[in-house]
Chain A
Amino acid sequence: MSFSQRLKEDFTTTTIVLIAIAIVINMTVGQVVSMLKLPIFLDSIGTVLVGLLAGPIAGGLTGLLTNLIWGMITSPVAAAFSPVALAIGVAAGLCARYGLFKTWWLAIIAGVIITFFNAVVAVPIRLYMFGGITGSGADFMTSYMLALGKDLFGSVVVTVFTSNLIDKVATALIAWAIVKALPERTTDRMPQAKYVVSAA
């Protein structure tokens, strides 16, 4: 079956609209965070939400498209990291399917797992495409690790993991809270929400 056929068969209209809305959520949440001057990004909250509500494939697609569209409207650099966003969505979907979003403390563990998936994909891109440096604040961390005598690979791994841990755990917790707060008539329509909601 071709990809587009699979899209048609697997994805209901509701799921398609959910993904589209989640992409916009990813792109606007940064505005709230910067309004409050908080040290997190939350720019994958929509991706994680789709993972929870509609499964890993839909979640991955949300992440991938978010960064590709970012690439078209802000800077092509964002598009280079689209595989990372895809990994986050897939990881969130898998975590939800295996019951890791049933309680708030399980959601924290899920956040750590998502951070791990994030690093597995982000490190090679950062390393081989950008030479380990992306021109952001996180580069200070990399240079500090290098100065301590670590090799480039190790430095990038540490940088990616630490700069994402708090953000992804916060993202996972908020996504969990949102799904819990959704009215039943909405979660009823979401193919995978039962893995999260039924624990209540």
Chain B
Amino acid sequence: MTIRIKNISFSYPDGSRALHNLSLTIETGECVAITGHNGSGKTTLVKHLNGLLKPDNGDVLVNDSNTKACKTGQLARQVALLFQNPDDQICKQTVRDEIAFGPKNLGFEKDKINLLVEVSLALFDLVQYKNHNPHDLGYSERKRTAMASIVAMDSPVLIFDEPTAGLDHLEIELLLKVFEKLQRENKTIIVISHDVDFIAENMDRTITLANGEKIFDGPVRNLFQDDSLLARCGLLAPQMVQLSKSCKLPSAALSPQEFISLVQD
């Protein structure tokens, strides 16, 4: 499942330019972070990956088929996209039904739906809430429900917009376990996030946007080491990078373990 974006540009109907001449390729099984200012075009970009938006110029190829020729309904089988606010999608009266909504729309068989739902419930530690009204739960449980509903669609590519916002430490650990499982299944994970510490420790590659243009695409470390680049996209350096810099290490560490091995002789 390769995603190829070729020279796409996109402007909203009101004339505001959101993406400009952007190209990139994401291969199967990659774990990619998309970073940038608010309004830099991150959300607009990921909406192109599942056909919610079609580029004005250029092409988006998902598994070699052009999104211009596909409906979002079909593309959802390939690319699942989770929006930031769970309350923008919760429409069912139990957590279980909410998670089953996506798989049902994709037309899966009943047994498969049940299996996917049960697995997702367990992954996000929601089994105890499966018959609850999602709106009776707290924000972070609703967020987990929304994430579970995307994972249950079993698509080869999963996109999460700000997955860690509003989660506590234990819930982020839970999310990391889910990411590990998805990686083992060779799924592609794309995360839009401001959480630099999370990105530094858990993502391989980052794509950085500013004013609708790609200003960086490469290993996470290279972005965080570059102060001028960080300033351009309005990011602070992760804790470990700040520590590395303060200790004047020749290259920035991304995790405590790495830091220790760098300072050891």
Ordered by A's residue number, 6 sampled pairs between the chains whose C-beta atoms are within 8 Å are A181-B133, A181-B135, A182-B135, A183-B135, A183-B136, A185-B136
For the complex of A and B, 8 pairs with smallest distance between CB atoms: A183-B135, A183-B136, A181-B93, A183-B133, A184-B136, A185-B136, A182-B135, A181-B133
Give residues in B with beta carbon < 8 Å to A: 93, 133, 135-136
Q: Which of A177-200 contact B (CB under 8 A)?
A: 180-186
Chain A interface residue count, CB cutoff 8 Å, equals: 7
Since A180-B93, A183-B136, A184-B136 are in contact, a sample of 8 more A-B pairs with Cβ atoms closer than 8 Å, ordered by chain A residue number, is A181-B93, A181-B133, A181-B135, A182-B135, A183-B133, A183-B135, A185-B136, A186-B135
Complex Cα gap A182–B135 (Å): 7
Complex Cα gap A186–B133 (Å): 12
| Shortest Cβ distance from residue B58 to the other chain A in the assembled complex, whole angstroms | 27
A185: chain B residues within 8 A (beta carbon): 136
| Shortest Cβ distance from residue B202 to the other chain A in the assembled complex, whole angstroms | 34
Q: Which residue of B lies closest to A184 (CB)?
A: B136
Task: Tally inter-chain residue pairs, CB-CB below 8 A.
Answer: 11
A184: chain B residues within 8 A (beta carbon): 136
A180: chain B residues within 8 A (beta carbon): 93
B136: chain A residues within 8 A (beta carbon): 183-185
Q: Which residue of B lies closest to A180 (CB)?
A: B93
| Shortest Cβ distance from residue A67 to the other chain B in the assembled complex, whole angstroms | 28
Complex Cα gap A186–B135 (Å): 9
| Shortest Cβ distance from residue A123 to the other chain B in the assembled complex, whole angstroms | 37
Q: Which residue of B lies closest to A181 (CB)?
A: B93
A182: chain B residues within 8 A (beta carbon): 135
Complex Cα gap A184–B93 (Å): 12
| Shortest Cβ distance from residue A193 to the other chain B in the assembled complex, whole angstroms | 14
| Shortest Cβ distance from residue B119 to the other chain A in the assembled complex, whole angstroms | 26
Q: Which residue of A lies closest to B133 (CB)?
A: A183
Complex Cα gap A185–B133 (Å): 11
Q: Which of A148-200 contact B (CB under 8 A)?
A: 180-186
B93: chain A residues within 8 A (beta carbon): 180-181
| Shortest Cβ distance from residue B234 to the other chain A in the assembled complex, whole angstroms | 32
| Shortest Cβ distance from residue B56 to the other chain A in the assembled complex, whole angstroms | 22
Complex Cα gap A180–B93 (Å): 9
Complex Cα gap A185–B93 (Å): 15
Q: Which residue of B lies closest to A186 (CB)?
A: B135
Q: Which residue of A lies closest to B93 (CB)?
A: A181
| Shortest Cβ distance from residue B53 to the other chain A in the assembled complex, whole angstroms | 16
A183: chain B residues within 8 A (beta carbon): 133, 135-136
Q: Which residue of A lies closest to B91 (CB)?
A: A181
